[in-house]
A and B are shown apart, each in its own frame.
Chain A
Amino acid sequence: MLEVRALSKSFGGLAAVDRVSLDVGHDEIVALIGPNGAGKTTLFACIAGFIEADAGSVRFLGSDITGLPPHRICARGIARTFQITQPFARLSVLENVMVGAYHTTRVRRDAADRAEEVAWQLGLGPQLDMRADALTLAGRKRLELARALATRPKLLLLDEVMAGLNPLEVEDVVAMVRAIRAGGVVVLLIEHVMQAVVSLARRVYVLSNGRIIANGSPAAIAADPGVIEAYLGHGAAARLQRGGLHA
């Protein structure tokens, strides 16, 4: 469904994304993990059209979408959430989600219905009339999700949607993402919260210093020495091997 090929983006000589290639298939949840500063959000921004890549290509459903502006990317069926939530602060939850729903209809009634449906699905039903900036962090994360979902995307890019949530809240969101997947939407998520990655993703890409250093099932990459080094530092893999888990 999504094919990223050799995507590169540098900022003033520093390669934030370095010849990254990845694939997301038609019926899966794929996770993108990596230490802080690895370039994950930059990669998302390139895919979603907020940043123009220096080189490489992004293809979606067979067509080239490299360099398209964000609203065109959305029109093609890709929706994204932001790492730091970006609610429409002074609008109500309902109005927020309706903006997403308006993507597929002009009619207010239909947009409102769709918005309500999605909001209830994500547990925001009781807060429909609340101002977006009055929500808790968990609420705002769900709002990001609801808004993006309301556009009826084919692919959902979730940027650290679990960040800042406590384990119970994480479980709720995990269940929601599973339900979204069951509803036919493909998901590519950036995550730090391993609980979520392990529960949701069939495949995981690991990004470090702008490069993909591993790709496989959650179990496989957890054991991959290169991945361990990326997170725990040089030589950590060998130390772990020698001294068991307390290196």
Chain B
Amino acid sequence: MLAVLGVLALAAYPWVFRSNYAINVGFLILFAAYLGQTWNIAGGFAGQTSFGHVVFFGVGAYTSTILQTAYGMNPWIAWPFAALAGAFTGWLIGVLSYRAGLKGSYFALITLAVAEVGRVVANSLPITRGGLGILVRADHRAANFQFKDPIWFYYLALALCLLAMLIVWRLTRTRFGARLAAIRENEDAAQALGIDSFREKVKCLTLSGGLCGAGGTVYVQKYLYLDPSIAFGVDKSVEMLLVTMIGGAGTVLGPLIGSGVLHVVGEITRDLGNSLPGVSNAQPLSIIVYGAVLIAIVAWLPDGLMGLFSRRSKDARRA
């Protein structure tokens, strides 16, 4: 019931706040929530904290963009290829890392290195136009996956966000999700109960990578520009991690709540900062606050904001 109201509220948002600015902010929040949700699948549910999730985003983004600009493919058709590319990357990283038995911090660091490899490769290949980046020719027609009015991207982001939440919710009610949670809590015990943790973790990373890659396409279609630092920069990895951890890793609503909170906090910090004398660009200040929030969450609220709620409803109804 509450969920329906929530969805309606989000759908009504662009009609209440009509300005392009507000709609774009809405897009950013929902899009960050979507990407965060893809991180949530691996990091929140399976406990695979990744520091380089942006690599899936970048691989997806470059796939659909190159197919579009260099091979003339229609971006809607290229979109699933982006998801496939992201899924394949997830599968590859999963197979290699888990075969080698990497977990915890080692896994986090190897994903970081993989993203860096992606950045360097994108910076060096002619097909990606290197550091110059790729400009997608503006041709604002729906058939071309470009919308002049940002409201369409807002709804697209909303749809993706809801889809991701639905997938994650399903996860909490299926065997796959239960197994991922078991692996997260105690991998040895999970194996003793018949769970092939290698296979499940690879499946998880593949799913996460595919969804994240799909997000890459959406981003490029909106901003019509892609370069290696956007595609593989560590900032996005951190943002995905942060919105999920603030909201609550391993929960359905976590990334959305976290994204909202993060952006609001960022806005406030930026406004406060810009109002200080002599300050021309307060953007880094808001990121400083993000860093502090990350520390605070890890230190005091490891279950995120959703953790505050679940402590109250301790009498969770039976399965």
Q: Do A and B come from one complex?
A: yes
Interface bracket on A: 20 to 34
- The answer to whether A103 and B315 touch across the interface, beta carbons within 8 angstroms, is no
Which residues of B have CB within 8 Å of A87? 185-186, 189
The answer for the CA separation of A148 and B191 in the assembled complex, in Å, is: 11
Name the one of A80, A92, A108, A112 contacting B192, with C-beta atoms under 8 angstroms. Answer: A80
Evaluate contact between B188 and A151: CB separation under 8 angstroms: no
Contact status of A99 and B318, CB under 8 A, knowing A80-B192, A108-B175:
no
Q: Is the CB of A103 within 8 A of B185?
A: no
Segment among A54-62, A69-77, A178-186, A202-210 that sits at the interface with chain B = A69-77
Q: Which residue of B lies closest to A94 (CB)?
A: B319
Asked if residues B191 and A70 are in contact (CB atoms below 8 Å), the reply is yes
B182 in contact (CB, < 8 A): yes
The chain B residue with its CB closest to the CB of A111 is: B175
Q: Closest CB-CB distance, A109 to chain B, in whole Å?
A: 8
CB of B179 within 8 A of chain A?
yes
* Number of residues from B at the complex interface, CB < 8 A: 24
Q: How far is the CA of A75 from the CA of B192 in the complex (A)?
A: 10
At the interface, yes or no: A228 with Cβ under 8 Å from chain B? no
Contact A70:B182 (CB < 8 A) given known A108-B173, A129-B315: no
- The answer to whether B139 has its CB under 8 Å from any CB of chain A is no
Chain B residues with CB below 8 A from A94, complex form: 318-319
Nearest CB of chain A from residue B210's CB, rounded to whole Å = 22
Q: Is A71 a contact of B194 with CB atoms below 8 Å?
A: yes
Assuming the contacts A71-B196, A89-B185, asked whether A95 and B191 have C-beta atoms less than 8 A apart, the reply is no
Is B142 on the interface with A (CB-CB < 8 A)?
Answer: no
Task: Judge if B193 is at the interface, Cβ distance under 8 Å.
Answer: yes
The tally of CB-CB contacts under 8 A between chains A and B is 89
A106 proximal to B (CB < 8 A): yes
Whether, in the assembled complex, A86 has its beta carbon less than 8 Å from a beta carbon of chain B, the answer is: yes
| In the complex, A9 has a CB within 8 A of chain B | no
Instruction: Give the residue of B174, B185, B188, B192 whose beta carbon is less than 8 angstroms from that of A91.
Output: B185
Q: List, in ascending order, chain A residues with CB within 8 A of B202's CB.
A: none
Q: Are A88 and B181 in contact (CB under 8 A)?
A: yes
Q: A residues within 8 A CB of B191?
A: 50, 69-71, 74
The answer to whether B193 touches A103 (Cβ under 8 A) is: yes
Q: Do A88 and B185 touch across chains, with their CB atoms under 8 A apart?
A: yes
Return chain A residues, CB-CB under 8 Å to B178.
95, 98-99, 102, 111
A128 contacts the other chain (CB 8 A): yes
A43 within 8 A of B: no
Residues of A within 8 Å of B196, CB to CB, are: 69, 71
Task: Tell me, in angstroms, the Cα distance from A115 to B319 when the chains sit together.
Answer: 10
10 contacts between A and B (CB under 8 A): A50-B192, A70-B192, A71-B192, A86-B186, A88-B182, A98-B319, A108-B174, A108-B175, A128-B318, A129-B315
